[in-house]
Structure 1
Amino acid sequence: MYIKSSTLFAGAFALCAFAAPLPDCDEDTTSPGTSNAITKETLIAIEPKTASCAASPKFPGECADAARAAPAINKAFETYKITSKGEQAALIAYMLFESGNFTYNRNHFPEPGRPGQGSRMMAMPPFIKKYATAVAGAEAVAKAEAAGGDAGLNAVLELVISDDEKSFGSAPWFLTSTCTPEVRKGLEAETVDGWHDFLTKCVETTAAPERDPLWTAAKKALNSGN
């Protein structure tokens, strides 16, 4: 595994996007093809700080408030068929934690941050390359890498974070392509052990206690219908 996460903004994931059917005209466009859509109210119930980006003046262009994040998350869940509330809660909690409540799309800490690391999952450069290849194609990645060094890493990252759907799509791809069926069953069961197994056995990070409150809040919000 490439994923090692020892700080708030460390993770490593990739996206392999494919087309999803458009919703009918009378459907909620923030929840294409889903029966239990995530709304901005859902995200605010999980983490009230997502209601606004007003407290994020340093990197304002990177912050995604709940209204902006919800449709991108729904699209990603639809694309990768993440339908269980347990899996959805885990992915939302993990994204919130890694990106500082959707404040960051790049690694900035400790300053100046690690070149090439980003997305809402704070994917490490090797996975960003795989992710960008899937989303933008090998030719685009090669062109970006031609800049060389840190500039090349950041150019590849830009292919990944160029829109919200791509940036928020990494976690669902990672879950479906990397985690074992046993880990997924644990998330579906919504148990503490299942959540911690996801962190330690699939993400390969620590099951630090500070990660648990967001997961608990996400389960509560999704199961209450917020």
Structure 2
Amino acid sequence: MVSPRSLILGCALLTTTLALPTPQTTPTTSNHTCAITASDLTAIDPTTASCTSASATFATECADATRAAPALTSAFAKYAIHSPNVQAALVALMLFESASFKYAHNHFPAPGRPGQGTRNMQMAPFNEKYATDVFGADAVAAAKAGAQGDSSDAVLALVNARDEDSFGSAAWFLTTQCEASIVEGLAAGTEAGWEAYLVDCVGTSHDTARDASWIKAKEVLGA
């Protein structure tokens, strides 16, 4: 039986009116659905339904499912992430790293690590690479030159200014910083593939606390 998700062709890229540097063009070869809905996200993690549980100190960073879903859809279209298993792994990673989309900057332990953030809590050197790919080297240099504090925080602010970029970093990292075998392993949906992604690509340990969201995301996204 053909999955209903495979019957929807293409993915609409979102646009914003924020006064940011123009992103660099990234070709997309989308011929398959990559749409993520708010209902998908709340089915995976019910706490994404609202931001009422977010820390008051950082409440502006919280993105609920309604806000996160179009940003994820945009990211998966841009980076041609069409496999439900791969989508599930990226969603699960972001849910864990951002405490269910409550944070876009590393704050813990206080005061946090400068420059670390986006929804997959990407380290500062990768955020600079990401910002350069998305906005260009001149925009990154301008952000750093105008920094009021740590220049890496200014770069993070640049990539966090739009949801599609903040939620897009995990897809960028997978498709530009990981071996092709990692993507293939995720697409297979196996625990070995998931562990290889976490350990050999992301560079973290396979904490079993990560598994529940990954398993649920595969189920919900039809993998």
TM-score of the pair, normalised by structure 1: 0.82
Q: Take 1:159 and 1:213, find their aligned partners in 2: how far apart are those partners?
A: 32
TM alignment of 1:41-56, pairs within 5 A = 41-56=39-54
Looking at both structures, which has the greater relative contact order when contacts are Cα pairs under 8 Å and sequence separation is at least 6? 1
Matched, 1:18 2:25: yes
Q: Take 2:108 and 2:208, find their aligned partners in 1: how far apart are those partners?
A: 21
Q: 1:148 to 1:212 in 2, by over 3 A?
A: same
Q: Is the 8 A contact 1:34 1:74 kept in 2?
A: no
Report the residue type matching 1:45 in the other structure.
Answer: A
Q: 1:20: Cα distance to partner?
A: 6.9
Q: Is the 8 A contact 1:20 1:78 kept in 2?
A: no
Q: 1:79 to 1:36 in 2, by over 3 A?
A: closer
Q: 1:111 to 1:64 in 2, by over 3 A?
A: same
Matched, 1:151 2:157: no
Q: Is the 8 A contact 1:105 1:122 kept in 2?
A: yes
TM alignment of 1:1-226, pairs within 5 A = 18=25, 34-56=32-54, 57-147=56-146, 150-223=149-222
Deviation string 1:45-83 (CA, Å, 9 cap, x unpaired) is 110000000111221110000000000000110111101
Q: 1:146: Cα distance to partner?
A: 2.4
Deviation string 1:76-105 (CA, Å, 9 cap, x unpaired) is 101111011110000000011111100001
Q: Is the 8 A contact 1:18 1:79 kept in 2?
A: no
Report the residue type matching 2:94 in the other structure.
Answer: M
Q: 1:167 to 1:17 in 2, by over 3 A?
A: farther
Q: 1:148 to 1:161 in 2, by over 3 A?
A: closer
3-state SS in 1 of match to 2:57: coil
* Structure 2 residue aligned with 1:11: none
TM-score of the pair, normalised by structure 2: 0.83
> What is the aligned-residue identity percentage?
50
Q: Take 1:111 and 1:150, find their aligned partners in 2: how far apart are those partners?
A: 16
Which range moves more in the overlay, 137-146 or 209-218?
A: 137-146
Which range moves more in the overlay, 145-154 or 73-82?
A: 145-154
Q: 1:223: Cα distance to partner?
A: 1.3
Which range moves more in the overlay, 62-71 or 142-151?
A: 142-151
Q: 1:151: Cα distance to partner?
A: 2.8
Deviation string 1:90-149 (CA, Å, 9 cap, x unpaired) is 000001111110000100000111111111111111111111122222122212222569
Q: 1:149 to 1:126 in 2, by over 3 A?
A: farther
Q: Which runs of 5+ in 1 are unaligned?
A: 1-15, 22-31
Report the residue type matching 1:151 in the other structure.
Answer: D
Q: Is the 8 A contact 1:33 1:78 kept in 2?
A: no
Q: Take 1:128 and 1:39, find their aligned partners in 2: how far apart are those partners?
A: 26
Q: 1:150: Cα distance to partner?
A: 4.2
* Structure 2 residue aligned with 1:24: none
